């Protein structure tokens, strides 16, 4: 069994925080796990692990979650986005301007 390091402990806490935020977002939208699994194209068993804070999320899974929710689950503060950066998500441009 792997030794619990300070970094591993922080990562576990961060995964749990993301899981909590996702669960709250699903509840606000009135969706249960089965509904969200279908809407996001994420296997129900994997979604359950995500909601328990046990899964290591891939970028693809994060994107699926965000598209299903209709808003970011994880955000990069806009002050860290370079001026002129554009990204397209669901036909909408994001991060097109840097705040002053």
Helix axes 33-40, 59-69, angle to 10 degrees: 110
Distances in whole angstroms, Cα of residue 18 to Cα of each of 4, 60, 67: 20, 15, 16
Residue 99 has pLDDT above 80, yes or no: no
- Look at residues 73, 98, 76 and name the one whose alpha carbon lies nearest to residue 85: 98
In a domain, 1, yes or no: no
pLDDT of residue 46: 97
Q: Is residue 100 part of a domain?
A: no
Which tens digits make up the pLDDT trace of 46-60?
A: 999 999 999 999 999
| Any domain includes 16 | yes
User: Within a domain: residue 84?
Assistant: no
pLDDT digits (tens, 9 = 90+) for 6-48: 898 899 999 999 999 999 999 999 999 999 999 999 999 999 9
Q: How many domains does the chain have?
A: 1
- Containing domain of residue 17, as a range? 6-73
Do the domain assignments include residue 32? yes
**Across 27-31, 75-79, 82-86, least confident range:** 82-86
Q: What is the CATH number of the domain that holds 68?
A: 1.10.260.40
Question: Structure pTM?
Answer: 0.71
* 60 or 78, which is more confident: 60
Distances (CA, A) of 85 to 17, 80, 91, 99: 28, 11, 15, 12
């Amino acid at each position: 069994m792997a030794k619990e390091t300070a970094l591993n402990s922080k990562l576990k806490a961060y995964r749990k925080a993301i899981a909590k935020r996702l669960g709250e977002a699903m509840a606000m939208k009135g969706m249960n796990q089965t509904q969200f699994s279908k809407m996001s194209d994420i296997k129900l068993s994997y979604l359950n692990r995500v909601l328990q804070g046990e899964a290591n999320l891939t970028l693809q899974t994060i994107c699926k979650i965000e598209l299903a929710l209709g808003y970011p689950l994880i955000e990069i503060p806009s002050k860290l986005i370079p001026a002129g950066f554009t990204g397209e998500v669901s036909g909408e441009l994001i991060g097109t301007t840097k705040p002053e």
